[in-house]
Structure 1
Amino acid sequence: MSEPKTLKEQFWDPVAGFGVTFRTMFKKVVTEQYPFEKLPTAPRFHGRHQLNRWPDGLEKCIGCELCAWACPADAIYVEGASNTEEERFSPGERYGRVYQINYLRCILCGLCIEACPTRALTMTNEYELADDNRADLIYEKSDLLAPLLPGMEQPPHPMRAGATERDYYRGAVGTGEGSAS
């Protein structure tokens, strides 16, 4: 048989529990009004990915597939291809012909960013990635490429006159500092 409840257990404990409820009922609401008021994100927020370009418009991605290997969710698919003198998409020997990120699988961890040797892949502050169609959440290369800024030319096009691969990777393209080697 169980012992009868004490007066404290019968009356005071429920009242104390409701006290917490009553104290919070009259406090100011701090709910964010998300769709109507969009607050800025933190500076190092991990949002949607972006494939970057060199100052002349060539792509930074060299199709090495290191980002795909580093992805723990297997959300990235890359197919590399060789550049030719007639069709050059990046300064090196290769470029990413096919580049896809499946945001149904991506956990936005940033390991792909750390693996990229050319800093071609970065993350933006864009966080609205929801959609009502699963196929639209697989971003293709055209969805991920950074927009062309003034002075950039749409690839394929040759490297800047006098510039070498080494100049691109040292960041000397667009600054007028070419290297002699």
Structure 2
Amino acid sequence: MAVIKVKRPDLATGEKLYLGAIVKGFFITMKHAFDSLRGKTRGASDLASSGLGATMQFPEQRWDDQLPEYYRGAPALVTDEQGRERCVSCQLCEFICPPKAIAIEPGEIPSDDPWAKVEKRPKEFDIDMTRCIYCGMCEEVCPEQAIFLRKDYLIAGGSRAEMMHDKKKLYEIGGKRVGLVNKWNELK
């Protein structure tokens, strides 16, 4: 098989200086600038922008109604309808977490508890929100649907200690979730 060498075409003087591309880019930029001054910026009406361009006025305006269905926010633990913990301390979410943001210490349920047929529940369940990358793997791997990613993007804290969510805080922000929980199933 023969090798065919292709010779590059010689550039003209204007092409060597990139003058045409620079001028074209300048005119596109100026067109967008004038459109924003006239209030015709693309997307500004969707954001109900009150200023020039498509700037959202954050504390008053939120993205909540424009978040896609597949948006993944902060993880939280949920309880069932009766307020019982769904988590069985299987530690799958801890093992699958890529940045190792989840730490679980399993604990046993006392034998005098009416739901003692379940072996474990988390004694400690911590998520370091400074390390969490919101990948959703913890939610996917959970066999009891005990951890969910909320549509919350406002996670702030004044210190690293405030960004460490413990079991109490995770249940507080997670709330209740309706549906079958395998560990409380009478057939199990």
Question: What is the TM-score with the length of structure 2 in the denominator?
Answer: 0.69
d(CA) in 2 for partners of 1:76 and 1:18? Answer: 49
Measured at CA, do residues 88 and 144 of structure 1 come closer, stay the same or move farther in structure 2, by a change above 3 Å?
farther
Aligned length: 155
Residue 14 of structure 1 and its aligned partner are, at CA, apart by 4.7
**Over 4 Å off, 4+ runs:** 8-14, 87-91, 146-149
- In the alignment, which of 135, 142, 149 is matched to residue 109 of structure 1? 135
Q: How does 1:18-167 map to 2 (within 5 A)?
A: 18-27=26-35, 28=41, 29-40=53-64, 41-87=67-113, 92-146=118-172
d(CA) in 2 for partners of 1:91 and 1:55? Answer: 18
Taking only the aligned residue pairs, the percentage that are identical comes to 26
SS for the counterpart of 2:30 is helix
Cα distance per residue 1:27-69 (max 9 Å; x no partner): 1312232332002222232112121112211100111111000
Is 1:169 aligned to 2:177, yes or no? no
Q: Which structure shows the higher helix fraction?
A: 2
d(CA) in 1 for partners of 2:18 and 2:182? Answer: 75
Query: Relative contact order, CA 8 A, sep 6+: which one is greater?
Result: 1
Unaligned runs of 5+ in 1: 150-166, 173-177
Question: What is the TM-score with the length of structure 1 in the denominator?
Answer: 0.72
Unaligned runs of 5+ in 2: 1-12, 36-40, 42-52
Residue 115 of structure 1 and its aligned partner are, at CA, apart by 1.2
